[in-house]
Amino acid sequence: MRRLFGSVRARATLGATLVVAVALVAAGAAVLLSLRSNLIGEAGTQAERSARAVAAELAAGTPYGELSLDVEDRPVQVVDEDGRLAAASDDLERISGTDTDAVTPRPAPAGEDAGDDEGDDGDDSAEAGESLDPGGIGERTTFTNGSATLDGDTEDYRFAAVPVRTPAGDGFTVYAGAPLSAEHSAVRTALTAMLIGFPLLLGVVAAVTWLVTRRALRPVESIRREMAAITASADLARRVPVPGTHDEVARLARTTNETLAALETSVERQRRFVADASHELRSPIASLRTQLEVAAAHPELLDLDGAVEDTVRLQRLAADLLLLARLDAGERPADTRVDLAALAREAAAGRTGVTVRAEAVRVTGSRGQLERVLVNLLDNGQRHARSAVEVTVRRAGEHAVVEVADDGDGVPEADRERIFERFVRLDAARSRDDGGAGLGLAIARDVAARHGGTLTVRAAPAGGALFELRLPLARP
């Protein structure tokens, strides 16, 4: 059971069915109440019509024996102000819901006269609550529910009570009933239809919701299976199927494929990085080992300068690889205010052919990493310059700009993004010792990105390459 309702399809079906069930119960109750109210109101209207017809005869002075009390086989009572039954339907056997349950009229006691109550003209029946003139009929009608037995048949009735005063001044209340059998029958029929129809409708809703949800989630299951297969095979070149719809599932599939593509690129980049790093480390380590082995056998042949040079190169390469690893791991730069002008002058100090034109601008970040960017850019500039490298530090709006330009051959436009890739060397003829490992520009761009800036290259005015570093200015 827990596994069943752990399914999105099952929960959606159950939720939809419960919502529809609540809506159907509320709607059914409202329909039944409205139907019952309308039918009771209709019965009350019929009862009032009958009561007012009899009241009109009384107001016209019609004697009791000539009143139309058996029209439409409805129970009728005429009750005087003392609560005595003055007239009733001939076949009335029992009644409840009116002021008296008497069914046989009884004459007034001897000595009493209807005219004795003439002084009470202003005291009409309790139901009416209004004063009537002789021959008048009350405007207000009161309604009650009760039952009556007519000619052996017992039914529920809606009774209407209408006050009336005869021309002689006698006050009466006419009770007339209309059967509620139609209301009971209609309510029972509607309730039966609901009890039969509602479960069927809920079954249809549950089935349709189940099928629609299964159809909607089918692409999700395909995505899940493909992701499981990718995880099992470790083949990041595979992609999940994208449905032909334009809904959330299709967007999920496209986003998943984009994530897989980014992951594949990252893994491939990592593989290349490991392979290139292994290759770069192999050369100085092999050279250093060879020199040490030769020195061990023939101490007089030891090339101490070469050994030191290989060791320094190995140390620099290890430092570069360590920095790249920290950058890839998402290490955030320190929150330190750095003066780029001072940093540029320090990096250019002692370098031949390097000039610095700088205004004081401050940025926030890691002083060591920003210094590495400037050193790498200057090393690259001096490596490719014919005679001069110029460093400019200036403010441009909300950014600090550092430009390093050389007068060399420049960078071909097609290679201006490629040079920022790791272990990339455009000059295939130069030696590794002179050209480095191809990590300097990659490190510089990664550091710039970590500091919220950019590093780009374009043609310099002197014809060489111009590297532009843009960083956000430090906030006051």
Buried b (16+ CB within 10 A) or exposed e, 158-182: bbbbbbbbbeebbbbbbbbbbbbee
pLDDT, mean of residues 172-188 = 90
CATH number attached to the domain at 336-472: 3.30.565.10
pLDDT, mean of residues 313-334 = 78
pLDDT at res. 45: 92
pLDDT at res. 471: 94
User: CATH 3.30.565.10: which residues of the chain?
Assistant: 336-472
Query: Rounded to 5 degrees, what are φ and ψ at 114?
Result: -60, -30
Query: Rounded to 5 degrees, what are φ and ψ at 180?
Result: -100, 15
pLDDT at res. 109: 52
User: CATH 1.10.287.130: which residues of the chain?
Assistant: 248-328
pLDDT, mean of residues 205-229 = 86
pLDDT at res. 159: 93
Mean pLDDT estimate for the chain? 84
Instruction: Among 13-22, 52-61, 298-307, 429-438, name the one with the lowest average pLDDT.
Output: 429-438
pLDDT digits (tens, 9 = 90+) for 331-347: 777 788 999 999 999 99
pLDDT digits (tens, 9 = 90+) for 33-73: 998 899 999 999 999 999 999 999 999 988 888 888 876 77
pLDDT at res. 5: 55
Residue 270, SS3 per DSSP: helix
> Is a pLDDT exceeding 60 seen at residue 430?
no
Does domain 248-328 bear CATH number 1.10.287.130? yes
pLDDT, mean of residues 129-152 = 86
Residue 455, SS3 per DSSP: strand
The residues, any chain, with a CB within 8 Å of residue 37's CB and separated by 6 or more, are none
Residue 79, SS3 per DSSP: strand
